[in-house]
């Protein structure tokens, strides 16, 4: 099995849409009246959830007339948030066919299928035309992609001149060994965590000019502390949450990620770059 196949297998659920549908029913909702906010706990598969998305995306100058690219879109949660809040047209691409099929159904539930277009494929060879997007972003995607240079060269190719590209990824802060499993990998074979310097070098090599960077370690620790308190006060798992995507090992994956962040091995970092005009 190739590394790419192992990555796809890592994210495979098997009955993902059914599991989310059951969660929606537990909320007392149906596919007819569920909202973007209802789906947020399962839609935002990255540190900080919906708040992290809003903080990050607000830096990308999004507006209704723009066509946005979601690289590594997963089940399309952030795409739906962007389409709903900023009224943009969004195209998303992800390796997992199950995630794409699930995302298409969820977008249809919300009546967003005309402005959200999701497709299965590699972020390294998307098939999109040159200069076809007004902005692009990726949230917790690069940890599964070893060749950051090829990744950012492809992003650069697809963006129109003067467009912004946002990256929100978990990055390596020191040379210590990462504890596995974590949400993006069962072991080091499918993990491609890189340092901030490696990200910046790859972005600049692709032609981008970096305009802003922000280490979100403190935000992440606060987020997980609040999550821990909330979980301790709850008798049962929430109807919708990332445990649906991460499966039975969700608890240990999150615990290991928190330990890795707290010990200074990794941290979630934002980078905002621009393709020169």
Q: Domain range holding 138? A: 3-274
Q: Give 165-200 pLDDT, tens digit per residue.
A: 999 999 999 988 999 999 999 999 999 999 999 999
Q: Which residue, chain included where needed, has tokens 């987020």?
A: 223
Q: For residue 248, which phi and psi values (nearest 5 degrees)?
A: -65, -20
How far, in Å, are 95, 135, 155, 212, 226 from residue 273 at the CA level? 24, 10, 11, 7, 31
How far, in Å, are 6, 9, 151, 196, 254 from residue 186 at the CA level? 10, 10, 22, 22, 12
Residue 182: give its domain's CATH number: 3.40.50.150
Q: Are strands 116-120 and 89-94 parallel, antiparallel or unpaired?
A: parallel
Confidence (pLDDT) at 175 = 87
Tokens matching residue 23: 């969660």
Q: For residue 91, which phi and psi values (nearest 5 degrees)?
A: -110, 135
CA distance 24 to 79: 19
Res. 11: pLDDT tops 80: yes
Confidence (pLDDT) at 228 = 74
Confidence (pLDDT) at 237 = 78
Task: Quote the number of domains for the chain.
Answer: 1
Tokens matching residue 149: 């240079």
Confidence (pLDDT) at 81 = 97
Mean pLDDT of 146-174: 98
CA distance 155 to 153: 5
Radius of gyration of the chain (CA): 18
């Amino acid at each position: 099995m190739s590394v790419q196949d192992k990555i796809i297998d890592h994210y495979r659920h098997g009955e993902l849409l059914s599991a989310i549908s059951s969660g929606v029913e537990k909320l007392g909702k149906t596919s007819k009246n569920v909202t973007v906010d209802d789906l947020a706990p399962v839609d935002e598969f990255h540190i900080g959830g919906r708040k992290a998305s809003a903080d990050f995306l607000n830096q990308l100058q999004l507006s209704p007339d723009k066509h946005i690219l979601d690289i590594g879109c997963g089940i399309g949660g952030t795409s739906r948030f962007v389409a709903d809040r900023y009224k943009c047209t969004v195209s998303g691409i992800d390796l997992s066919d199950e995630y794409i099929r699930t995302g298409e159904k969820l977008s249809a539930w919300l009546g967003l299928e005309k402005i959200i277009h999701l497709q299965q494929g590699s972020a390294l060879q998307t098939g999109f035309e040159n200069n076809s997007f007004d902005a692009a972003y990726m949230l917790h995607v690069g940890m599964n992609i070893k060749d950051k240079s090829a990744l950012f060269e492809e992003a650069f190719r697809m963006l129109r001149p003067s467009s912004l590209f946002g990256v929100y990824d978990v990055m390596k802060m020191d040379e210590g060994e990462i504890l596995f499993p974590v949400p993006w990998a069962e072991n080091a074979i499918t993990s491609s965590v890189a340092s901030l310097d490696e990200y910046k070098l790859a972005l600049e090599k692709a032609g981008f000019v970096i305009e802003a960077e922000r280490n979100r370690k403190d935000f992440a620790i606060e987020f997980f502390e609040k999550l821990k308190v909330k979980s301790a006060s709850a008798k049962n798992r929430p109807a919708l949450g990332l445990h649906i995507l991460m499966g039975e090992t969700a608890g240990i994956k999150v615990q290991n990620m928190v330990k890795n962040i707290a010990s200074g091995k990794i941290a979630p970092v934002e980078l905002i770059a621009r393709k020169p005009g």
